[in-house]
């Protein structure tokens, strides 16, 4: 299947401007997601499930491979991702206010490096619209894969008011999310990554954790797992600070990593502004995952993301300490059934698969 995608479909798609190709893919997945019967059938065929699912922060994941944030920004096609074999999907980034994102063009392919540069800037329908979409499908989601929701800061909100902005999105979305990931690492919202600094992060995560716990107490259920998504551009000292805050505020896990503003050797000429993803990011993401895993004695759940484009690179991420993985750019380059291929390849590492 991957062969036909790469030889036939990808060359056609890659003739289109990258975001047009993306929109076409989203439309196709949206249609697929509406065909519940077909999705169920495809799921049976494509889901590589374990006899015992992977249990992490109180959730059950049928396999280790998730769709990273940014592809299904507005919760349009989560059901189709299950049909393609993904073990979880992360919606978003969603912001409090609906926003158009940056001007186009804002996604650039670098096929010779299996990479993308994007400066989308959190284009999304806003938390109310996304919550409405998730609410409508909540009941039918019960037997599906976990759906995480990634939240970020609205562009119109000044950095000093970021906490309130995150809290409002959280409040609106949390009831419809299996987990919430807090995005402080996208390079395309001015100032956002400053929220990774010790004090700002402590305030942000502290307030979100408090709200999460008090809501859960009132409603009589357990708090929703909170994850933090970090940048690959933090140095090890900054990562130590982040881990200190994560421990202090009882955050359930880390997603490492988002895209990088660095341009590794050989890529200096690709100077479009934005975050680089795909193969050139892989080594750094693995290094960050490995560092976090060692620093936390393997006890903090880690979702590894960055340049996974083959079973070998997925294996390297798991060997570095990732409990789950997420893909984005690999999905663009390798095609719709890449998740299934990776889930199959990772199966023996986890034992007892069916």
Ligand X SMILES: Cc1cc2nc3c(=O)[nH]c(=O)nc-3n(C[C@H](O)[C@H](O)[C@H](O)COP(=O)(O)O)c2cc1C
The contact pattern for ligand X, residues 60-89, with x = CB under 6 A and - = no contact, is --------xxx--x----------------
- Non-local CB neighbours of 51 within 8 Å, separated by 6+ positions: 352, 353, 354
Pick 23 or 55: Cβ nearer ligand X: 23
What is the rounded distance in angstroms from the CA atom of residue 172 to the CA atom of residue 131? 7
Closest separation in Å from C-beta 149 to ligand X: 11
Place of tokens 């955050």: 251
**Sign of the four-CA dihedral 204, 210, 215, 216:** positive
Which of 277, 290, 293, 310 forms a contact with ligand X (CB under 6 A)? 277
Q: Choose among 293, 224, 299: nearest CA to 256.
A: 293
* Binding span for ligand X by CB under 6 A among 116-124, 130-138, 245-253, 288-296: 116-124
Choice between 103 and 352, CB closer to ligand X: 103
Annotate 332-351 with DSSP letters as a single string: HHH-TTHHHHHHHHHHHHH-
- For residue 72, give Cα distances in angstroms to 89, 146, 297: 8, 14, 33
Q: Is 186 a catalytic residue?
A: yes
Catalytic residue among 185, 186, 277, 310: 186
Nearer to ligand X, 27 or 214 (CB): 27
| Pairwise CA distance, residues 12 & 287, whole Å | 35
Min dist CB 330 to ligand X, Å, is 5
Nearest to 81 by CA among 332, 328, 339: 339
Report the nearest approach of ligand X to the CB of residue 152 (Å).
7
Which residue in the set 281, 314, 320, 342 belongs to the binding site for ligand X (CB under 6 A)?
281
Catalytic residues: 186
Chain residues that interact with ligand X, rule: CB under 6 A:
68-70, 73, 92-93, 107, 116, 118, 120, 122, 150, 183, 186, 229, 258-259, 277-278, 281, 305-308, 327-330
């Amino acid at each position: 299947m991957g062969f036909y995608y790469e030889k036939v479909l990808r060359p056609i798609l890659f003739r289109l401007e990258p975001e047009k190709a993306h929109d076409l893919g989203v439309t196709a997945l949206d249609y697929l997601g509406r065909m519940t019967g077909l999705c169920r059938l495809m799921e049976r065929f494509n889901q590589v499930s374990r006899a015992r699912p992977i249990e992490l922060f109180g959730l059950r994941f049928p396999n280790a491979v998730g769709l990273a944030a940014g592809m299904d920004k507005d919760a349009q096609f989560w059901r189709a991702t299950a049909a393609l074999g993904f073990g979880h999907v992360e919606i978003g980034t969603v912001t409090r206010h609906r926003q158009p994102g940056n001007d186009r063009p804002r996604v650039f392919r670098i096929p010779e490096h299996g990479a993308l540069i994007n400066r989308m800037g959190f284009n999304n329908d806003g938390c109310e619209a996304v919550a409405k979409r998730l609410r409508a499908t909540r009941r039918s989601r019960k037997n599906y894969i976990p759906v995480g929701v990634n939240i970020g800061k609205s562009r119109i909100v000044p950095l000093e008011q970021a906490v309130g902005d995150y809290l409002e999105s959280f409040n609106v979305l949390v009831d419809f999310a299996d987990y919430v990931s807090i995005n402080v690492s996208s390079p395309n919202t001015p100032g956002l990554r400053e929220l990774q600094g010790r004090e700002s992060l402590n305030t942000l995560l502290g307030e979100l954790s408090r709200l999460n716990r008090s809501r859960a107490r009132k409603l009589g259920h357990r708090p929703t797992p909170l994850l933090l998504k970090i940048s690959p551009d933090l140095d090890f000292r900054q990562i130590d600070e982040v881990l200190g805050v994560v421990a202090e505020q009882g955050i359930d896990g880390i997603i490492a990593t988002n895209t990088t503003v660095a341009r590794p050797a050989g890529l200096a000429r690709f100077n479009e502004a934005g975050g680089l993803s795909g193969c050139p990011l892989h080594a750094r993401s693995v290094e960050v995952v490995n560092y976090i895993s060692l620093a936390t004695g393997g006890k903090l759940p880690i979702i590894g993301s960055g340049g996974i484009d083959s079973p070998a690179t997925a294996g390297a991420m798991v060997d570095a300490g990732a409990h789950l993985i997420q893909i984005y750019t690999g999905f663009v380059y390798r095609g719709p059934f890449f998740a299934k291929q990776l889930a199959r390849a990772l199966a023996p590492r986890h034992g007892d698969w069916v």
